[in-house]
Each structure stands twice: as C-alpha cells, then as structure tokens.
Amino acid sequence: MARMRTPFQGLWNVVRFNWHFYVLALVVVAVLALGALFSDGWLQLALLISIIGASVLTLTSLIVTYWVYDMSNLYSLDWLDKVIDDKPNHIVNINAGFDETSGLLQAKYPTAKLTVLDFYDPVKHTEVSIKRARKAYPPYAGTVTVATSLLPLTDDSVDDFLGILAIHEIRDETERIDFLKEAYRILKPNGQIIITEHLRDTANFMAYNMGAFHFHPKATWLRAFLAAGFIIEQETKITPFISTFILRKNGTTS
C-alpha cells in the first residue's frame, strides 16, 4: 500500500533538500539588515527595499511550492483519470533518483504491471539536492537502474510511460532526444508517454526567480518531442506552474 503523504510534505522536501539556498537568502537579508542599521538616507532606504524584495521573493517561492506539491492534485494523481485507462496493462514510471510516485501509481492501478526505472547517474547528476533526496527516500522495491540511452524493455511493450518531474534532469539536449527515442521504441503502437514538468516560463520565473533556469523552456521540450518522432496529442496544466504533455507515436490516434 502506498504511503500516505503528510501535511506540508512537499514543501518540507523542497526546503530540506535545497536548504543551502534558503540559508544563503537568510545571510543576504542579514547582511542587508546590518547595512541598513548603520546607514541613513537614500542608502538606508535602498537597503530596506532590497530586504523587502528578497523576503517577498523567498516567501513567494515557498507559497507556490506548498500550493503545487501539497495543495494541488499533483500527487493524488486524479489528473490521470482522463489520460490512462482504468485498467492499463503495463505502466513504466521513470525517475532521476527521487521517486514519490511509484507507490501511488501502484495503489491507483493495482492490476497493472508497474516497471520502475531510475536513470540517476552520479557522474552526470551532481546536484546535492538529489543526493539528499536519495538518502531520505529509498528506491521503490524492484526499481531498475538504467542508462538514458538504453531502456531494458522490448519493442512495443508499454501502454503508458510516465516521467513526472524527472526528465528535466537530462540536461543535454542530444541525450534527451535519444532517451525519448528509447521511450518511443518500447511504446505499443497506441501507447502514450506522459511528461509532467515545470517550464521555464513567466509563471515559474515569478515563483522561483533564477531557480526557473533549472527548468527547460517549452520550445526545448517541443523540439525534443518532434525530433524523437512523437506527436503532441494534448497539453494540460496542473496549476499554472506545472505542465503535462501527452505524446503518441506519429501516425497513431487515441
């Protein structure tokens, strides 16, 4: 049975896995406050405005994070009801070293064969947040470690291939396209790939400021999808900050 998510779990995970950013924000505010304390006039006003700006940006990112990861239906998976059949045969769920969804998927689709793949490579994926997450969350039972260039599944064998907040960790565009071609290979003719990601767009810049550069622009995703041979059947939003793309093999329909 899938472990139930606790209140504030999403927010807490983001803060504890990325605590160095929040410590840096506190240090910046403290330095600005110290400067304001020992200054006056226009300089003091500028420092006070900077303190307010830094505080607002940090608070905004925390509020949005709580909304997306704790208050939305992202982890209830209700949004899949209109995408996946009630009784799919074979689901693949892929992650980049941090998996919060496989247990939830197995509970939602108990009769389906669930294959969980992890493409985390410590040489390529050096972010400290992923290392912290891996220590906090052991892999789902039966998870298979894979290379992005070779998925250990036969051709035309998968009904639904899910990448939930994971595939953006493939930073190199050529590698990303090769990975999507592998996903294309293992999908059944009428199978689908479901990619859920933050985008580097206005909404995410407003929420995460410079942190939005970790996300890929929509144009980058679309270019990769087309290069891998997919057609984009649908694009939906899970809050203004999360986008889901439903992809099918070119020449197939739902």
List, for residues 125-171, the tens digit of each pLDDT value. 778 888 899 888 889 999 999 999 999 999 999 999 999 999 999 99
pLDDT at 1 over 70: no
pLDDT bracket for residue 253 (50, 70, 90): low
What pLDDT is attached to residue 134? 87
Residues in contact with 244: Cβ distance below 8 Å, sequence separation at least 6, in sequence order: 79, 83, 194, 195, 196, 235, 236, 237, 238
Per the model's pLDDT, the better-predicted residue between 232 and 135 turns out to be: 232
Cβ atoms of residues 161 and 94 within 8 Å = yes
Q: Which of 93-97, 137-141, 188-192, 216-220 bottoms out in mean pLDDT, i.e. has the lowest?
A: 137-141
pLDDT bracket for residue 252 (50, 70, 90): low
The Cβ of residue 56 has, within 10 Å, a number of other Cβ atoms equal to: 10
The most confident of the ranges 3-17, 113-127, 214-228 is 214-228
Question: For the chain, what is the radius of gyration of the CA atoms?
Answer: 20
The Cβ of residue 37 has, within 10 Å, a number of other Cβ atoms equal to: 9
What pLDDT is attached to residue 61? 95
pTM for the full predicted model? 0.90
pLDDT at 3 over 60: no
| 58-88 pLDDT, tens digit each | 999 999 999 999 999 999 999 999 999 878 8
pLDDT at 254 over 60: no
| 100-117 pLDDT, tens digit each | 999 999 999 999 999 999
For the chain, give the mean pLDDT. 93
What pLDDT is attached to residue 126? 74
| 161-198 pLDDT, tens digit each | 999 999 999 999 999 999 999 999 999 999 999 999 99
Residues in contact with 49: Cβ distance below 8 Å, sequence separation at least 6, in sequence order: none
